[in-house]
C-alpha cells in the first residue's frame, strides 16, 4: 500500500508501516529523517495514496485551547478565533481528501462538534504504555483499532504524574514535539491492523 502519514516529523507511524513492507512516507513542515516530504501536505494529497493517517496540529483544536478563546484573553490573543477557524478548515481538508481510507488523530476538542464525534477514543495503556492520554480517531473506511496489550492495571498502580507523563513534561522549546509523537504501540497497531 501507498501510505501517507500527514503532519508527522518523528517517523514513528511511517516506519511502522515500512517495517511491514508498505510504501510509506511522512509529511510535515518540520524536517525529518527517512522517507519524508517537507512541506504542506495539501500539496501532495492527490498523489495516489491508498491510506492516509493524519495528525493535524491540535494547538487551536484541543479542548485545552478553549481557555484562550474567552473574552478576557482577546487582548492577548486577538488572532486566536481566526487561527482556530484555519485549523478547523485544515482538518476538514484532510478529511475530504480523495484517499480511499483515512484516519485523523487529535485530542478531545472542537472537531467533535464542528465535524462529528470521533469513531474511537484510545488510551496508551491499551497498547502497552502505562500512561493516560486520550486520543480520538476519526475513521473513513477503516475499522476501530483493537487493543494489543492492555496495561491498565499497571498504569493504575502509578502516581498521577507518572500516569500523565506527557501532560506533566517540564516547559521546553521541544515540549510540543515530545507530546505529539505517537506511542509506538499505537503506531504498530495501526500498521498491523490497517496495513
Cα dist from 38 to 26, 35, 77, whole Å? 8, 10, 29
Q: Does the pLDDT value for residue 184 go beyond 80?
A: yes
Give the helix/strand (H/E) hosting 84: helix 80-95
- pLDDT surpassing 80 at residue 179: no
pLDDT at position 44 over 80: yes
In Å, how far from its chain's centre is CA 155?
Answer: 22
pLDDT confidence of residue 169:
62
Residue 167: pLDDT over 70: no
More confident call, 32 vs 173 = 32
- Please name every residue paired with 42 in a beta bridge, in sequence order, or none if there are none: none
Question: Is 193 strand, coil or helix?
Answer: helix
What would the grid cell of residue 105 be? 488523530
Cell numbers standing for residue 192:
498491523
Q: Is pLDDT of 161 > 90? A: no
- pLDDT, tens only, 102-142: 999 999 999 999 999 999 999 999 999 999 999 999 999 99
Q: Where are the beta strands (DSSP E) in the chain?
A: 2-6, 23-28, 36-38, 51-54, 101-106, 120-122, 135-140
Q: What pTM did the predictor assign?
A: 0.92
Query: Could you give the CA distance from residue 30 to residue 138 in angstroms, rounded to a whole number?
Result: 24
Report d(CA 129, CA 155) in Å as an integer.
8
Q: What is the pLDDT of residues 67-110, one digit of tens each?
A: 888 888 888 889 989 999 999 999 999 999 999 999 999 999 99
Q: What CATH fold (topology level) applies to the domain 2-194?
A: Rossmann fold (3.40.50)
CA distance 157 to 185: 20
DSSP 8-class letter at 139:
E
Q: What is the pLDDT of residues 2-17, one digit of tens each?
A: 999 999 999 999 999 9
The answer to whether 87 and 57 have CB atoms below 8 angstroms apart is yes
pLDDT of residue 30: 94
* 85, three cell numbers: 477557524
* Summary count for the chain: helices (H), strands (E): 7, 7
Per-residue pLDDT band for 46 (boundaries 50, 70, 90) equals very high
Amino acid at each position: 500500500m501507498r501510505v501517507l502519514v500527514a503532519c508527522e516529523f518523528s517517523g514513528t507511524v511511517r516506519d511502522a508501516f515500512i517495517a511491514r513492507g508498505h510504501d510509506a512516507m511522512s509529511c510535515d513542515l518540520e524536517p525529518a529523517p527517512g522517507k519524508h516530504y517537507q512541506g504542506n501536505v495539501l500539496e501532495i494529497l492527490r498523489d495516489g495514496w491508498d491510506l492516509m493517517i493524519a495528525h493535524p496540529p491540535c494547538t487551536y483544536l484541543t479542548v485545552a485551547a478553549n481557555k484562550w478563546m474567552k473574552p478576557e484573553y482577546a487582548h492577548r490573543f486577538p488572532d486566536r478565533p481566526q487561527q482556530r477557524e484555519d485549523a478547523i478548515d485544515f482538518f476538514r481538508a484532510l478529511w475530504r481528501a480523495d484517499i480511499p481510507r483515512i484516519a485523523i488523530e487529535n485530542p478531545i476538542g472542537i472537531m467533535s462538534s464542528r465535524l462529528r464525534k470521533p469513531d474511537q477514543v484510545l488510551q496508551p495503556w491499551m497498547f502497552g504504555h502505562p500512561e493516560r492520554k486520550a486520543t480520538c480517531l476519526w475513521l473513513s473506511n477503516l475499522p476501530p483499532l483493537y487493543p494489543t496489550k492492555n496495561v491498565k492495571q499497571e498504569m493504575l498502580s502509578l502516581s498521577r504524574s507518572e500516569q500523565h507523563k506527557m501532560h506533566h513534561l517540564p516547559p521546553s522549546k521541544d515540549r510540543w514535539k515530545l507530546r505529539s509523537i505517537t506511542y509506538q504501540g499505537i503506531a504498530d497497531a495501526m500498521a498491523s491492523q490497517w496495513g
